[in-house]
Structure 1
């Protein structure tokens, strides 16, 4: 009874913690972005194939993705506030290894450490955002996710400003980024520890057992949601990892010039992520998820076939629309499975992106065999999968399901 009262009592929104965890999300994802940013350098210095580059991206994403639901599940059962700075320490080791890696297998080993650090951060980072949100969970999730998307968008600028002039060794600077993140996370973890009395394990706080039929409905919905996020992630991976090579080969531009196009796509995605939360509040989460993919599909289909001058506006439009559902899918999943914040966050942000990593490796091998043009045409079809969103439960139905469990 007391636990239920604590959970229902209104809490203030703790903005210093929200901005701190959003800032570390930026640092964490900027370190992950080092890997695709250094792709053009590794491709030349180590004579790597597109398939090998795809496996490097696969190793990073799969290590992070497979472990995220595991970390979330474990911390849903037993709180572990200091797993946050510990995980960031693993990322520091990975960045150091990447700076000195002499060959392909050493690069793979280094990115595994970076992936493990990211896996430790994301579910617990999402939990911190939930705990600090008070009554503004949509806003809190947007602040947290925008930090990560902004970090991802820095990859092309890293290539221009760091890796083209300094080469692979430029990644040594990101060990200092990891050290800064550890210091901020020590502050966040202390706050997290002090709040545990206000946030007993919500899995135990949910009173009623749902029926077998409802379990099947929820299982179908979460599986479909993961598949939709997978398709979105596969498309984003194809653009951010391989479109730069398509620009270089088919349009004859330099590595430096290609990075500006990729940066525009990723930066517009940050805008879309920020706008997605308010749009979902006004028009519904399922509607935003549907629009983010189906609405971007016509522009995605055009992208591989237009002249260079049209790629800028198309990238800007596609980035805003397709990533407008980035934070919305996490909030939707948390409402679909209430009480399992870490597990759900790990599943959506982690496992779904891991499936996208499989797509990244496949696209790399496809580019080696069929060429970049065919690969980009295949990518352009992926947003059409978003039409399956109509089979997700509506927002109203989610609210009815949640009320039945009280």
Structure 2
């Protein structure tokens, strides 16, 4: 066999099937990226004391991070769907590196806002492109691939309580500088990913040229597909609002209802978030086996009786139910991303930006709405009403099955 043939065979092996090495690296990068993003809200108590910031100023910092990260994700996805940019990944994380360095050294509120915008932009670039890498590396196991990628992000977010306790409380604002090392590690790993991404694009392009017939869809997205996409986004918003309600307000509820300390209330939230990260991983393989629509439906409907019961049970039972709720509800997190990507094929980055980025923004909006509701009707009643949100999972029954989606696009 000639040398060119051997090289061609090796390239083919590298880019066919499920690329687990790439998936684990991009999942690790997702963990590093989201742990950096978690530094911002984790620093709120530190900034409030060291710089005398008001709650309004802290709210503006959180809003700036969320709005840039969430609104820009679909935009980045649309752009890179038209022209893939492998090296946007390390470049985006370089913005994050400068942002977190600025956050640790900022002498004023204005400089903190600028630093947070850098972090938000870096995150906005990373998420749709990271999801694209997971899709490209998936082979036939798209659910599993997206789960490996998304579990990294959810694990990074779950680290927020530990970041506060172990780094920011002892070291203060300057402690955020340690995360420049985290960002630098992510940049170096993403350079490796970008090289693979570039080779994969070349391989796919050569494969496409070798095919005699390429099917396209010149008619664009049909009205029924837009309707289904609206439904899946609505389900994501409902899930995001519930998660936002628990992560932002349950600690206050536990402190008032059970006379918990702040530290003990944080343990309950940590259990919810960690169980959610574990659930994120298991949802993908289950979807590969039993269907994405089925997993989305069972995830939300099975959560409902647990979430409704949480405000009415003793503390120990509440801890168990919170962990179960996080695990079951988040098992559909990665699945909804893949479902949307298959619903609108060829728009991998755009769908990732919509399902993850816009959902993140809706979670932030949900936090504001639920906070206003708590002021209006009281926190206990707000927590009770929040528990009914997973019942909106019944809307999943209106979605097409995985088989039906394949038939629509065949």
The alignment's TM-score, normalised by the length of structure 2, stands at 0.88
Alignment of 1:180-191 (within 5 A): 180-191=185-196
Aligned-partner Cα distance in 1 for 2:111–2:191: 30
The counterpart of 2:295, out of the listed 274, 288, 294, is 288
- 1:357 corresponds to: 364
**Residue pair 1:58, 1:358 contacting (<8 A) in 2 also:** no
- Unmatched 5+ residue regions in structure 2? 1-10
Matched, 1:325 2:332: yes
Check 1:201–1:129 CA distance in 2 against 1; reply closer, same or farther (3 A cut). Answer: farther
User: Is 1:122 the counterpart of 2:130 in the alignment?
Assistant: no
Structure 1 residue aligned with 2:322: 315
Any idea what the Cα deviations from partners look like across 1:282-307, whole Å, max 9, x if unmatched?
32211111121121111112223333
Correspondence 1:27 to 2:32: yes
Which residues of 2 match residues 67-106 of structure 1 at below 5 A? Answer: 67-101=72-106, 106=111
What's the offset of the Cα at 1:50? 6.3
**More deviation in 364-373 or 325-334?**
364-373
RMSD: 2.8
Check 1:150–1:142 CA distance in 2 against 1; reply closer, same or farther (3 A cut). Answer: same
The more displaced of 197-206 and 330-339 is 197-206
- Residue aligning to 2:397: 390
Partner of 1:209: 217
Residue by residue, what CA displacement relative to the aligned partner does 1:140-185 show, whole Å, maximum 9, x if unpaired?
Answer: 2121111111111111221222233333432221121111111111
Structure 1 residues 300 and 51, CA, compared in 2 at 3 Å: closer, same or farther?
A: farther
Larger RCO (alpha carbons 8 Å, 6+ apart): 1
Over 3 Å counting, the alpha-carbon distance change for 1:394 and 1:176 in structure 2 is same
Cα distance in 2 for partners of 1:48, 1:201 equals: 56
Partner of 2:387: 380
The one-character-per-residue Cα deviations of 1:112-157 (angstroms, maximum 9, x if unpaired) are 2211111100111111112222232222212111111111111122
What is the distance in 2 between the residues matched to 1:159 and 1:331? 33
Q: Provide the C-alpha distance between the structure 2 equivalents of 1:239 and 1:266, rounded to a whole number of angstroms.
A: 10
**Partner SS state of residue 81, structure 1:** coil
1:274 aligns with 2:320: no
Per-residue CA distance 1:27-86 (angstroms, 9 max, x = gap):
011111223333444456566676665544333222111111111111111121111111
- Is there any run of 5+ residues in structure 1 with no aligned partner, and where? 1-5
What's the offset of the Cα at 1:197?
1.4
The question of 1:301 aligning with 2:326 is answered: no
Distance 1:227 1:276, change over 3 A: same
Give me the TM-score of the superposition, normalised by structure 1: 0.88
Residues of 2 paired with 1:318 and 1:243: CA distance? 13
The answer to whether the 8 Å contact 2:27/2:152 transfers is: yes
* Residue 345 (structure 1) aligned to one of 352, 372, 380: 352
Q: Distance in 1 between matches of 2:163 and 2:60?
A: 21
Find the aligned partners of 1:84 and 1:199 in 2 and give their Cα distance. Answer: 20
* Counterpart-to-counterpart distance in 2, 1:54 and 1:367: 17
1:247 and 2:250 correspond? no
Shift of the alpha carbon at 1:364? 3.5
Q: Could you tell me which residue of structure 1 aligns to residue 22 of structure 2?
A: 17
Whole-Å Cα distance in 2 between the matches of residues 11 and 385 of structure 1? 39
| Paired residues of 2:268 and 2:319 also in contact (CA < 8 A) | yes
Determine the C-alpha separation between the residues in 1 that align with 2:136 and 2:156: 23
Separation in 1 of the partners of 2:359 and 2:228? Answer: 14
Over 3 Å counting, the alpha-carbon distance change for 1:206 and 1:376 in structure 2 is: farther
C-alpha distance 49-388 of structure 1, shift in aligned 2 (>3 A):
farther
When residues 56 and 388 of structure 1 are mapped into structure 2, their CA distance, relative to the original with a 3 A threshold, is farther
2:328, 2:242 → 1: CA distance? 13
For this pair of structures, how many residues does the alignment match?
Answer: 396
Counterpart position of 2:179 = 174
> Is the CA contact 1:87–1:116 (under 8 Å) kept in the aligned structure 2?
yes
The answer (yes or no) to whether the contact 2:142–2:288 under 8 Å persists in 1 is: no
